[in-house]
Each structure stands twice: as C-alpha cells, then as structure tokens.
Structure 1
Amino acid sequence: MTEHTHGHDHLHQSHDAIIKRLKRADGHLRSIITMIEEGRECVDIAQQLHAVEKAICQAKRTLIQDHIDHCLEDTVDALNKGERAPLEAFKQITKYL
C-alpha cells in the first residue's frame, strides 16, 4: 500500500522490518503445511501454528503503532483545517489492534 489519503508516499521506517518478519512467517507457514502433509503430530503442528500466529500479530501491532506514531501529526493538522477524513482513517486502523 503506497497510496495514502494525504497524498504522500506511505512507507514507514518499520516497513522493511515488517516485511522481513512476514517473509520469515511465510516460510514458517510453508514448513507447517509440509508438516501436515507428512502426517506430523497435531500437537507439534499446533505449536508451530501458534508461533506463526504470534509473529503475524506482532507484525500487525508494529505496523499499526508505526502508523499511529507517524500519522497522528497529519491527522491533527487535518482536523485543525476542518478535514474529517483523516480522523476516520485513523479510527479505522485502531479497530485492528
């Protein structure tokens, strides 16, 4: 997602770290699929799924916190100009926390 309601490039510093984390989780998920195909123990699979789930949740949290940190100022500026749309976008993302 490179477009943003404010019209500037929407790539935060943490995005590289989030991409690396998600690529790791993607590889991990592929290995879990292989585990299932090979008939591994359900408890082992569940443990690995839990680890991937935690990694993805952390990536999501980092993304949202970073967005809030960087976009709060823009939202306040927009509100001072009487614009409501950035506030709505700001409220929308907090639903995913």
Structure 2
Amino acid sequence: ARALATDPRLILLDEPFAGVDPIAVIDIQKIIRFLKERNIGVLITDHNVRETLGICDRATIITEGRVLASGEPRDIIANEQVRRVYLGEHFRL
C-alpha cells in the first residue's frame, strides 16, 4: 500500500510467489491484475514460472546471466531451448 501512495508508473515485485500458499497466489495475482488495469507497470522477478507466466503479458528467461528467451508467455513455453534448459519437457501452464 505504501508503494501506491506515490502514484507510481511501475512497481517491482521481487519473488512475490515465493513460499506462499495457493490461496495467497490467487490473491497476489488479483492485485497484479488490479495494478495492470490502472496502467501501473509491474515487473516481476520470480522462480515460480507457472504462477508468473499465468499473470504476465511478456516474460524473459535468464540463465547463467544471459537472456535465453523473451516474449509472450505462450512463446516462452513453446520455446524448445527454454523447455530443455529451464522448464522441462512436461511443463504445462
């Protein structure tokens, strides 16, 4: 709430889905949608790709300090190299 008091154009969420239960994940996703509806950019860094890709418009996968892929979630999930290096072949959203 404090971050919204300054009427920001962008908010950084660092690992918002780390260590939270499934109900809290849904609550966090609702908050992110609320921010997006108000044209507040949301930058998320997180290892929980299922939760993150489910809410974002664009994603970037970084491995070993380099950008492996960047684009819409469906393109990231379909990227063969991303599946091989990061997601695994059985990953589903």
Q: Which has the higher helix share?
A: 1
Q: Which has the higher strand share?
A: 2
**TM-score, normalised to structure 2's length?**
0.29
**Which of structures 1 and 2 has the larger relative contact order (alpha carbons within 8 angstroms, sep 6+)?**
1
So what's the TM-score if we normalise by structure 1? 0.28
Find the structure with the greater CA-based Rg.
1
